[in-house]
Amino acid sequence: MERGAYLLTTNTFEQKLAEFKEYLKTMKGYEEAIGLMYWDMRTGAPKKGIATRSEAVGVLSGEHFKMSVSDKMGEMLEYFSAEAAFSRLDRVDRKIVTETKKEYDRSKKIPPQKYKEYVVLTSKAESVWEEAKEASDYAKFQPYLEQIVAANLEFIELWGYEGHKYNTLLDMYEPGMTVDKLDQVFGALREKVVPLLAAIQASPYKPNTQFLKQTFEKEKQKQFSLFILKQMGYDFEAGRLDETVHPFATGLNPGDVRITTRYLLDDVNSALFGTIHEGGHALYEQNISADLIGTPLCTGTSMGIHESQSRFWENMIGRSRPFWNHYYGDLQRQYPGQFDQVSVEDFYRASNEVKPSLIRIEADELTYNLHIMVRYEIEKALFSESVRVADLPELWNEKYREYLGVTPSNDGEGVLQDVHWAGGAFGYFPSYALGNMYAAQITRTLRKELPAYDELIGSGNLIPVKEWLSDKIYQYGKLLTPTEIMTEVTGEELNPDYLVHYFREKFSDIYKL
């Protein structure tokens, strides 16, 4: 197509709109194919096919990217963003145009050659990171990380920024989030969590957790995970559960939202809570309104809101007393003889043990946020250029001592533990802690609007909870921003006090503070 050809057509507004939507649907078709190809590579694609497969993924990703920045896309967006056409769009279509334009503008600002080099760099960095982590050899990874940070600083200049440079990165994962807001909420949270943690550590009432570490047959774990997913309202006609080393959820379309889990034979809780977590992500994606299928709005609105749902189901539901009051009998029957001597109260307390540790992904509900704050402080410092990449290991260890009171014995269990930076995903980590705060705040409203909340959970009736969340959050996909969701559902913007309140109540009880 010639540049300008689209704008010159004599098609009506309606014809142009239909053409625009068809174009977006084609892009979604690519996304579904790419999503399936990744799912397949992680769940069981034969390894000798991976090289050719990766090229095929590259082909489709390339075609998808070309469509996203094509002249035609530019002209369609020019037409629909202009007042004359925009004013004739309904609410959903307006949001589709603004979201698509945001992506388009972001992509267009990076010169294609630079972007290509960056993709190659991060792809290489991810494999170097794997070796560096294995060998606890930060020096090996450092030059890659330096280049990745430098590239991101360059991108930020091209994209533009307001206030802190890091804001531009935060906005990619949590639209509207800024350093100012995060400093405030993380500060407030840390101020309350640190003394609470100290009190917990000083408590003589430590839960016994030994019985969690027996041997549990994989097939039985799987059956129990499937049973709980069913209870949550996960729709097995619109999803499936598979096994992977690193669990994940992937929404190909609302009728096909897959989750994976990992079974540890010596731990009764790992696969279970992992499955509930991914199940929470999946409930979100399964319940997006069918009206949004084939549009860019057919996905969760942000990483933080998405994580609020996985954490809500994992922690606020799965690690709650009413939940175990109801389901503990099922668990006991699932593993005959293995929990005969364990009371439901002991099991509940063990499943909520708080213990500062080195590894984020193994952290408990309370200390998890401190792991995130360490990463947040480091990312902020990197993008205000107040710390050098070379100094990260030292800074990391110092922050861990300060926030968690533990010190890594090597960089493999320290600064090299997460893959995120190797992939250039700066600004992503805060989503995890935001998810916890959102989840507590949403839970408070949920309790008000479903007054029998504890009784519902305590009688194994989780469906009304899923339906309330679908009604208030899930159905909207990306139609509402995170701030709109929070304001419309809870009546106020993000407020860390609800998480603090939830922690205090829960852990004062468990640790008899």
Q: How far is the CB of 44 from its own copies (least distance, A)?
A: 6
For 503, how many CA atoms within 13 A lie in the half-sphere containing its CB?
A: 26
Q: How far is CA 225 from CA 91, 256, 363, 373, in A?
A: 39, 19, 21, 31
Q: How far is the CB of 116 from its own copies (least distance, A)?
A: 15
Q: How far is the CB of 256 from its own copies (least distance, A)?
A: 3
159 Rama class: left (phi>0) / alpha (psi -120 to 50) / beta: alpha
What span, in angstroms and rounded, lies between the C-alpha atoms of 477 and 206? 42
For 34, how many CA atoms within 13 A lie in the half-sphere containing its CB?
A: 16
Residues 285-314 that bind its own copies (CB under 8 A): 293-294
Query: Which residues does residue 374 pair with via DSSP β-bridges, in sequence order?
Result: none
Q: Which is nearer to its own copies, 53 or 420 (CB)?
A: 53
Q: Which is nearer to its own copies, 235 or 493 (CB)?
A: 235
> Catalytic site residues?
278
| Residue 398 labelled as part of a binding site | no
| Residues 6+ away with beta carbon under 8 Å from 162 | none
Contact pick of 236, 362, 402, 448 for its own copies (by CB under 8 A): 236
Q: Which is nearer to its own copies, 44 or 491 (CB)?
A: 44
What span, in angstroms and rounded, lies between the C-alpha atoms of 435 and 312? 8
For 255, how many CA atoms within 13 A lie in the half-sphere containing its CB?
A: 5
Residues 256-275 that bind its own copies (CB under 8 A): 256-258
Q: Which is nearer to its own copies, 43 or 338 (CB)?
A: 43
Q: What is the DSSP letter of 86?
A: H
Contact pick of 83, 90, 237, 340 for its own copies (by CB under 8 A): 237
Q: What is the DSSP letter of 314?
A: I
User: Nearest 5°: CA angle at 177, between 108 and 309?
Assistant: 105
Sheet with strand 241-243: strands edge to edge: 241-243, 256-261, 249-253
- By CB under 8 A, which span of 25-33, 75-83, 206-214, 340-348 interacts with its own copies? 25-33
Per rule CB under 8 A, is residue 83 in the interface with its own copies?
A: no
Q: How many residues bind its own copies (CB under 8 A)?
A: 42
- By CB under 8 A, which span of 166-174, 231-239, 259-267, 388-396 interacts with its own copies? 231-239
Q: If residue 260 lies in a helix (H) or strand (E), which one and from where to where? A: strand 256-261
Q: Which amino acid is at 186?
A: F
Tokens standing for residue 271: 């696969």
Q: Which is nearer to its own copies, 62 or 329 (CB)?
A: 62
| Residue 306 labelled as part of a binding site | no
Q: How far is the CB of 3 from its own copies (least distance, A)?
A: 12
Residues 33-72 that bind its own copies (CB under 8 A): 33-34, 36-37, 40, 44-53, 55-56, 58-60, 63
Contact pick of 19, 30, 42, 335 for its own copies (by CB under 8 A): 30
Q: How far is the CB of 301 from its own copies (least distance, A)?
A: 20
Q: Which is nearer to its own copies, 241 or 425 (CB)?
A: 241
Burial label, 194 (beta-carbon count in 10 A; 0-12, 13-18, 19+): middle
* Known binding residues for Zn(2+): 277, 281, 307
Which residues bind to its own copies, rule: CB under 8 A?
25-26, 28-30, 32-34, 36-37, 40, 44-53, 55-56, 58-60, 63, 235-240, 252-258, 293-294
* Known binding residues: 277, 281, 307
